[in-house]
A = this chain, B = another copy of it.
Amino acid sequence: MISDKMTAFVQGSSVIRAMFEEGKNMAKKYGQENVYDFSLGNPNVPAPASVNKAIKDIIDEEDSVFVHGYMSNSGYEDVRASIAASLNKRFGTGFAENNIIMTVGAAGGLNVILKTLLNPEDEVITFAPYFGEYRSYVGNYDGKLVVVSPDTDTFQPKFDEFEQKITAKTRAVIMNNPNNPTGVVYSEETLKKLAVIMEKKQKEYGTDIYLISDEPYRELVYDGVTVPYPTKYYKNTIVGYSYSKSLSLPGERIGYLVIPSEVSDYENVSAAANVATRILGFVNAPSLMQRVVGRCVDAEVNIEPYNRNRELLYNSLKEYGYECVKPQGAFYLFVKSPSEDETEFVNAAKKHHILVVPGTSFACPGYVRIAYCVAYDTIKNSLPGFKELAQEFGL
């Protein structure tokens, strides 16, 4: 007999994960090369050589008890200092080691910060389309996810609706920049507008509204676009980062939270996040990987394969008549489904061995997410299928 909350989950489960498992089964059945699995954001670009070199060097050079042993729950001080210095160099921020907490991926970091901040019934706002797990994470702490509806022309935030949805119970806002599933990047102007609204509401209600910027795709940007560093626009900003996508280490579970000294109640937020790391069962981020990212803090992120994929897939789908806002970040295309109910298109695609994720999973029905972090040839070989589907659906 399982808990009531989990009963609901077992029935609902994860569409993305179900697709991933389905893709593996299809690959077993038809052969890997005949399945075009665009469902899971699992980077196909290997980790940089410097990462694997770092692993081996650390094993050879650093003391085993140190490398594999416990350390402060927030992580090795030297690693945190290196990360802070790197951020300061890149973005002109003023962080120190005490502003960084190493986390078990971004997902671990989000759980830590939400445990730190949320009382039951507290509201957390996010912008559709959004990564469906936000709902689960907020639900873990009995918070209430409040969703701003999607602007399907641009997938930028709807500022008026955002302002209206902030209440006295709004404890946090989760922003994902660059965005999963749309790949859009919020500009500096957008961040400034959001900040003005949140400052206004903080004053109006006499509350603290923390902006949680979830940014595992920060370095995956194209067309010369850069992602502004959000702490510079709004004092109560906490950043969640992960090396899953930038260094292709999603399985290793390594990321960090940035809790700037300027945030309201910094001492308690920082202390609580440290404790939450321990009692939620993370205890600390994996030790060897902390040492690795400490050494690889300025590693080059190779985005060229993703960009090449983006161009091929986007241009081809546009040619076939699909509608899509061209993404400038991450590795997803969010494409308008040619069928009103995207389930129809998703199922038809499966017959062509194409796996995509329904937009409903991201609170944006009528769309599908296509993850292009796959081999170039996978995209190339899937194109005839996408073309046939376009014709089947009368595009």
Residues of chain A whose beta carbon lies under 8 Å from any beta carbon of chain B: 1-7, 9-10, 13-14, 17, 20-21, 40, 42-44, 46-47, 51-52, 55-56, 59, 63-65, 67-73, 104-105, 107-112, 115-119, 122, 133, 136-137, 139-141, 207-208, 248-253, 264-265, 268-269, 271-272, 275-276, 278-289
Contacts of A104 in B (CB 8 A): 104, 253, 281-283
Q: Give bound CA distance, A380 to B100, whole Å.
A: 38
Closest chain-B Cβ to A60's Cβ sits at a distance in Å of 8
A202 to chain B, nearest CB (A): 11
Copies in the complex: 2
Assuming A55-B56, A107-B281, what are 20 further A-B pairs, CB within 8 angstroms?
Answer: A2-B265, A2-B269, A3-B122, A5-B119, A6-B115, A9-B272, A10-B271, A55-B55, A55-B59, A68-B248, A68-B249, A68-B251, A68-B252, A70-B251, A104-B253, A105-B283, A107-B278, A108-B282, A253-B286, A280-B281
B6, B67, B272: the one contacting A276 at CB < 8 Å is B6
**Chain B residues whose C-beta falls within 8 Å of the C-beta of A117 in the assembled complex:** 1-3
Using known A-B contacts A137-B279, A286-B252, determine if residue A272 contacts B111 with beta carbons closer than 8 Å: no
In the complex, 20 of the A-B residue pairs with CB atoms within 8 angstroms, ordered by the A residue number, are A1-B207, A2-B272, A3-B116, A3-B272, A5-B115, A6-B115, A6-B272, A7-B272, A42-B69, A44-B65, A46-B63, A52-B59, A68-B251, A105-B281, A133-B278, A136-B278, A250-B283, A252-B286, A280-B280, A286-B286
Q: Which residues of B contact A67 (CB under 8 A)?
A: 251
Q: Chain B CB within 10 Å — which of A6, A72, A117 has the most?
A: A6
Query: In the assembled complex, how far is the CB of residue A184 from the closest CB belonging to chain B, in whole angstroms?
Result: 24
- Do A275 and B6 have beta carbons less than 8 Å apart? yes
| Residues of B close to A116: CB separation below 8 A | 2-3, 6
The 5 A-B residue pairs with the shortest CB-CB distance in the complex, in nearest-first order: A251-B287, A111-B281, A136-B279, A107-B281, A46-B64
Cβ-closest chain B residue relative to A9: B275
Contacts of A65 in B (CB 8 A): 43-44, 46, 248
With a cutoff of 8 Å between Cβ atoms, the chain B residues found around residue A52 in the complex are: 59, 64
Whether A284 pairs with B3 at a CB distance below 8 angstroms is: no
Chain B hits for A71, CB < 8 A: 251
Closest chain-B Cβ to A67's Cβ sits at a distance in Å of 7
Could you say which residues of chain B place their CB within 8 Å of the CB of A269? 2
Chain B residues, Cβ within 8 Å of A2: 116-117, 265, 268-269, 272
Q: How far is the CB of A225 from chain B (nearest CB, A)?
A: 26
Q: Pick the contact of A253 from B21, B42, B72, B283 — CB < 8 Å? A: B283
Min CB gap A292→B, angstroms: 10
Task: From the candidates B7, B68, B72, B289, name the one contacting A250 in the complex (CB within 8 A).
Answer: B68
Residue of B nearest to A64 (CB): B46
Which residues from chain B contact A20 at a C-beta distance below 8 Å? 70
Give which listed residue, B51, B107, B280, B288, contacts A252 with CB less than 8 A: B288
Q: How far is the CA of A292 from the CA of B118 in the complex (A)?
A: 37
Q: Assess whether A10 is in contact with B268, with CB atoms less than 8 Å apart.
A: yes
A13 to B282, CA, bound (A): 16
Closest chain-B Cβ to A351's Cβ sits at a distance in Å of 25
What residues of chain B lie closer than 8 Å to A275, measured between beta carbons? Answer: 6, 9-10, 13-14
Q: With A47-B68, A68-B47, A279-B137 in contact, do A253 and B284 touch (Cβ < 8 Å)?
A: yes
